[in-house]
């Protein structure tokens, strides 16, 4: 449990760095295009990899705060005892899906690694990079969901954090 | 099973799973995978992850976390308060100027931060206490801020519009521009209502009421309020110039905006230490991961829907009803409103676009124009119960205004927004003139 906490903490720091780095790369891309005739070929894709990494790796930490939003209508009407059972079932189903997704990510990663898949762009970076981020992220998420299903709930995150 | 029956089953199962309270992203992924297992070749299951990755790995979509970063950086800084006080100092002489200043502050801040809840909380935490101190009713103050905050998803750069542009395969540049006219229309409506409401409250006010108190600011005070606000207005215009001057793509604009926002809060508010940046980054990461997973799974969900010919046959069925244009539009908008009771705009757009856009196109509606209309209708979902995200934000910053007052305060604004939708139906030029003029 503690280990998961440390991993999540490290991922948040890395994600923060990745976000700022992606912003820098895209800004660099604008400047490069403005001041030099050089083509901007790797910046977009490099940022895509960073941001895919943030999205998947941070997913477990987000779940640890119950930050993946759902429809809470039922939770507010059910009696607390029934609600706990409902949440347990929902968590198990979520874990099942995430485990399946993680498994398929790992097989995809293995395939990309052995077959040497690269992205279909001029820069052509190997695809095992984003696939590995996805695999690790979904595995951690599955682990987090299972661990959390078996211990008492922290209070849900306030709904003010959603951006739309 | 016919695609139509399959579609009903798909929709029904999705609703069931979602209402169980399972996070939206996992529900969509789970339902799509289960249907893949039963109704598609077994080999399809091996492509689930590749599919999600390919749908997500577009830089236009992945610029969303950077827009969120920019919004969080500005939203968590005191910029909202400063913007608000500057406008207040400049506009206090106009009758109802305080309310109008709040509307303007919301619009400007929304354009800088690109987020409705962030706008509500930044402008509202300064504006609501100020309005109440001056004798404005609490419900009105709350309604004004809740409605003003929704301008965040109509003004560029709006995350909702990025998703609509991707789902409808429309030009993001055009869509962003098309949101500006209608946003100004809403600002005008809100401001006019604020002024009218003020005059009505004043005519009823008793001697000595805070509403009748006058105040004055010297010219020096007026100019002293500017230096902290101008950089952010410059950021706003700079980013727009970069985007429309052809210097940057929308995703590069996101990166540029985020960097500039971080530099500005470091220079103006001295916010640069890791400890100070932590809440900004944590908030951005939380929102980004949550949203990107919903987006990836929604796209995967609609891929399965279209592989099974569900979207095509339901869209075909709608076309075959030969509804008149406006009945079709009204029916679709009602559906969007109802979905807005439960779902965030992101999922509404990505899940319904493949079904509702072909009939609308066949009926001769401009899809950029519809994007704007749909955005306004989804904005209403942000301020009416039961989800009404902005209502929660208002409850957080002004817990002593009773919920009933807040909801009643919001009703006039929902009516004004409905009116704006009607005006846009008769005068689509309000949305389309600017993009037609600037983008050929």
Segment B399-419, tens digit of pLDDT: 888 888 888 999 999 999 999
**Nearest by Cα to B439 from B160, B153, B170:** B170
Residue found under tokens 């600017």? B434
Rounded distance, CA B381 to CA B386, Å?
9
**Residue A85 belongs to what H/E stretch?**
helix A80-115
Mean pLDDT of B302-321: 90
The DSSP secondary structure of B310-338, one letter per residue, reads HHHHHHHHHHHT---HHHHHHHHHHHHHH
Per-residue tokens: B122: 């930044």
- State how far the Cα of B348 lies from the Cα of B345, in Å rounded to an integer: 5
Contact A47 B286 (CB under 8 A): no
* Nearest chain A CA: its distance from B93 CA (Å): 34
- Report helix, strand and coil shares of chain A as percent, to nearest 5: 75, 0, 25
Of A42-46, B231-235, B286-290, the poorest mean pLDDT is in B231-235
**Are residues B285 and A19, on separate chains, in Cβ contact within 8 Å?**
yes
Which residues in chain A have their CB less than 8 angstroms from residue B20's CB?
A: 74, 86, 89-90, 93
**Res. A140: pLDDT tops 90:** yes
**What's the angle, vertex CA B162, arms to CA B413 and CA B339, rounded to 5?**
50
pLDDT band at A151 (very low <50, low <70, confident <90, very high): confident
Q: Which of B22, B155, B294, B394 to mutate to test the interface with A (most CBs of A within 10 A)?
A: B22
* Lowest-confidence pick of B114-123, B129-138, B262-271: B114-123
Question: Residue B95: its pLDDT value, please?
Answer: 80
A-chain CB neighbours of B28 within 8 Å are none
For residue B277, the model assigns a pLDDT of: 93
Q: Are B392 and A160 a contacting pair at CB < 8 A?
A: yes
| d(C-alpha B170, C-alpha B177), whole Å | 12
Residues B118-131 have a mean pLDDT of: 87
Of A63, A90, A62, which Cα lies nearest the Cα of A74?
Answer: A90
Locate B221 and state its tokens. Answer: 């005070």
For A44, the token pair is: 């977009």
The mean per-residue pLDDT over the stretch B35-63 comes to: 90
Report the pLDDT averaged over residues B309-317: 90
- Distance CA(B371)–CA(B179), nearest Å, equals 9
Q: In this structure, what is the dihedral angle of CA atoms B5, B10, B12, B13, given to the nearest 10 degrees?
A: 140
**Distance in angstroms (rounded) separating the CA atoms of residues B228 and B233:** 10
Note whether B287 contacts A161, CB cutoff 8 Å: yes
Confidence of residue A70 (pLDDT cuts 50, 70, 90): confident
Nearest Cα to Cα of residue B236 among B140, B126, B348, B152: B152
pLDDT digits (tens, 9 = 90+) for B155-178: 877 888 999 999 999 998 899 999
Residues B206-227 have a mean pLDDT of: 76
Instruction: Verify whether the Cβ–Cβ distance B344 to A159 is below 8 Å.
Output: no
Q: What is the mean pLDDT of chain B?
A: 88
pLDDT band at A155 (very low <50, low <70, confident <90, very high): low
Do B112 and B232 form a contact (C-beta atoms < 8 A)?
yes
d(CA B125, CA B402): 16
Per-residue confidence at A164, pLDDT binned at 50, 70, 90? very low
Task: Please report the pLDDT score of residue A153 as a whole number.
Answer: 55
Size of chain B, expressed as the number of residues it contains:
440
Rg value, chain A, Cα: 19
B221/B215 Cα distance (integer angstroms): 13
The pLDDT, as a whole number, for residue A163 is 40
Q: How far is CA B358 from the centre of its chain?
A: 24
Q: What angle do CA B279, B283, B286 make, to 5 degrees?
A: 140
CA–CA distance, B111 with B109 (Å, rounded to integer): 5
* Band of residue B440 on the pLDDT scale cut at 50, 70, 90: low
Q: Phi first, then psi: give them for residue A118, nearest 5 degrees.
A: -125, 160
Residues of B whose CB is below 8 A from A25: 255
* Residue B289 in contact with partner chain A when CB distance is under 8 A: yes
Contact (CB, 8 A) for B140 and B147: no
**Structural contact between residues B299 and B52, judged by C-beta atoms closer than 8 angstroms:** yes
What does the alpha-carbon distance between residue B112 and residue B182 come to, in Å, rounded to a whole number?
Answer: 17
Quote the CA–CA distance of A18 and B27 in Å, as a whole number.
28
d(CA B161, CA A14): 29
Classify residue B276 as exposed, middle or buried by CB count within 10 Å of its CB (0-12, 13-18, 19+). Answer: middle
* Confidence band, pLDDT 50/70/90 cuts, at residue B339: confident
CB atoms within 10 A of CB B108: 24
Task: Outline where B20-158 has alpha helix (H).
Answer: 24-39, 48-56, 59-62, 64-75, 79-91, 97-113, 116-133, 138-149
As a whole number, mean pLDDT of residues A67-89 equals 86
Q: How far apart are CA A46 and CA A31, in angstroms?
A: 16
The percent helix, strand, coil of chain B (3-state, each to 5) is 80, 0, 20
Contacts of A16 in chain B (CB under 8 A): 277, 281, 284-285
pLDDT at B97: 85
Higher pLDDT: B433 or A76? It is B433
Q: Give yes or no for residue A63 having a pLDDT over 70.
A: yes
Residue A126: strand pairing partners:
A118
A65-74, B143-152, B251-260, B355-364: least confidently modelled range: A65-74
With a CB-CB cutoff of 8 Å, which residues 299-338 of chain B face chain A?
A: none
Q: Is residue B154 a contact partner of residue B375, using CB atoms and an 8 Å limit? A: yes
């Amino acid at each position: 449990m503690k280990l998961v906490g440390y991993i999540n903490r490290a991922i948040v720091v890395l994600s923060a760095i990745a976000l700022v780095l992606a912003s820098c790369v895209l800004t660099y891309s604008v400047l490069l295009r403005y001041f030099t005739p050089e083509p901007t070929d790797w910046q977009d894709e490099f940022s895509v990899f960073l941001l895919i990494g943030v999205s998947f790796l941070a997913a477990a930490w987000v779940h640890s705060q119950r930050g993946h939003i759902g429809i809470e209508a039922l939770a507010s009407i059910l009696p607390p005892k029934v609600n706990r059972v409902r949440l347990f079932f929902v968590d198990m189903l979520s874990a099942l899906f995430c485990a399946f997704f993680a498994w398929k990510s790992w097989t995809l990663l293995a395939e990309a690694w052995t077959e040497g898949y690269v992205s279909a762009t001029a820069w052509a970076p190997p695809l095992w990079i984003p696939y590995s981020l996805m695999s690790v992220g979904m595995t951690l998420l599955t682990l987090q969901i299972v661990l959390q299903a078996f211990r008492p709930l922290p209070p849900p995150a306030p709904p003010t954090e959603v951006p739309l | 099973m016919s695609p139509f029956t399959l579609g009903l089953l798909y929709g029904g199962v999705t609703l069931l799973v979602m209402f169980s309270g399972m996070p939206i992203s996992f529900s969509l992924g789970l339902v799509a995978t289960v249907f893949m297992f039963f109704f598609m070749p077994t080999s399809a299951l091996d492509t689930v992850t590749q599919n999600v990755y390919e749908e997500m790995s577009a830089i236009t979509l992945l610029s969303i976390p950077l827009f969120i970063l920019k919004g969080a950086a500005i939203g968590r800084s005191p910029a909202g308060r400063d913007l608000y006080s500057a406008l207040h100092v400049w506009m206090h002489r106009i009758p109802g100027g305080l309310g109008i200043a709040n509307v303007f502050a919301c619009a400007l801040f929304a354009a800088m931060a690109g987020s409705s809840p962030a706008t509500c909380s930044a402008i509202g935490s300064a504006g609501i206490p100020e309005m109440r101190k001056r004798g404005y009713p609490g419900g009105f103050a709350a309604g004004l801020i809740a409605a003003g905050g929704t301008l965040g998803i109509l003004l560029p750069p709006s995350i909702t519009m990025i998703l609509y542009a991707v789902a409808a395969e429309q030009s993001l540049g055009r869509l962003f521009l098309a949101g500006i006219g209608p946003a100004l229309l809403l600002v005008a409506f809100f401001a006019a209502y604020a002024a009218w409401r003020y005059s009505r409250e004043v005519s009823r006010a008793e001697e000595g009421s805070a509403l009748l108190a006058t105040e004055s600011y010297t010219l020096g005070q007026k100019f002293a309020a500017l230096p902290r606000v101008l950089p952010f207005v410059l950021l706003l215009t700079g980013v727009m110039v970069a985007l429309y001057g052809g210097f940057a793509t929308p995703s590069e604009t996101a990166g540029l905006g985020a960097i500039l926002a971080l530099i500005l809060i470091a220079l103006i508010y001295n916010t640069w230490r890791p400890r100070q940046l932590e809440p900004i980054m944590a908030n951005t990461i939380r929102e980004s991961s949550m949203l990107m997973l919903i987006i990836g799974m929604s796209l995967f969900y609609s891929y399965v829907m279209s592989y099974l010919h569900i979207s095509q046959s339901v869209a075909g069925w709608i076309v075959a009803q030969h509804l008149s244009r406006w009945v079709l539009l009204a029916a679709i908008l009602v559906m969007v409103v109802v979905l807005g009771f439960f779902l965030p705009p992101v999922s509404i757009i990505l899940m319904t676009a493949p079904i509702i856009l072909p009939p609308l196109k066949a009926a001769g509606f401009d899809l950029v124009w519809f994007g704007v209309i749909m955005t306004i209708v989804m904005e209403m979902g942000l301020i009416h119960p039961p989800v009404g995200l902005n209502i929660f934000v208002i409850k957080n910053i002004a817990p002593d205004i009773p919920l009933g007052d807040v909801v009643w305060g919001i009703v006039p604004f929902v009516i004004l927004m409905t009116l704006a939708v009607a005006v846009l139906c008769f005068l689509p030029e309000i949305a389309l003139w600017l993009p037609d003029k600037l983008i050929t």
